[in-house]
Amino acid sequence: MAILKVARIGHPVVRMAAAPVREAEIASADFQRLVDEMVVTMHEYDGVGLAAPQVHVSLRAVVIEVPASNVRSEAAVPLTVLVNPVVTPLGDERGSGWEGCLSVPGLRGVVPRFNRVRLEALDREGRPYAAEASGFFARVIQHECDHLDGKVYLDRMEDMRTLSFLRELHRHVPDAEEAVD
């Protein structure tokens, strides 16, 4: 499997709304290879999620995986493939947390997100998948699904003064949580 090149902010694909994946396309060898390569790429860059537009493919597909050893999460999230996801907030309550992004390397900022969301999508085999998520998993879902609409975490920041280079953040705010990447 290949490690794919990650699109950085400034590349048009990062800011485009992605096209839905046709259900007939999900089982194709090309789409399945894309999913496999997205997983390999996410692991290579120590991410917990990756959206297809981040690897120069303007399709509504996301991979998420949070290992049990990840201190940011209350629980592990097994490898989850989301095709054409729809995210619905469950309530108005929001929480703020540090986020980063493979498409905006080296920077972090504080981003408000809904604390709880409902997720509906198709899985890797094209079967319906639904889940309710809270905490870090809800944050990762929202972050990755934003990419499908051409948004990055910078667009969600309420106070740009929190935008920090990772190295400086660790040096001057040592208790800052690790960010979503």
CB atoms within 10 A of CB 80: 21
DSSP-assigned states of every residue in 11-26: BHHHHSPPBPPPHHHH
**SS (HEC) of 70-87:** CCCCCCCEEEEEEEEEEE
Q: Does the annotation mark 125 as catalytic?
A: no
Tokens of 25: 């396309």
Phi/psi of residue 67, each to 5°?
Answer: -70, 155
Catalytic member of 144, 158, 168, 177: 144
CA distance 87 to 97: 19
Q: What are the tokens at 23?
A: 């259900």
Residues known to be catalytic: 144
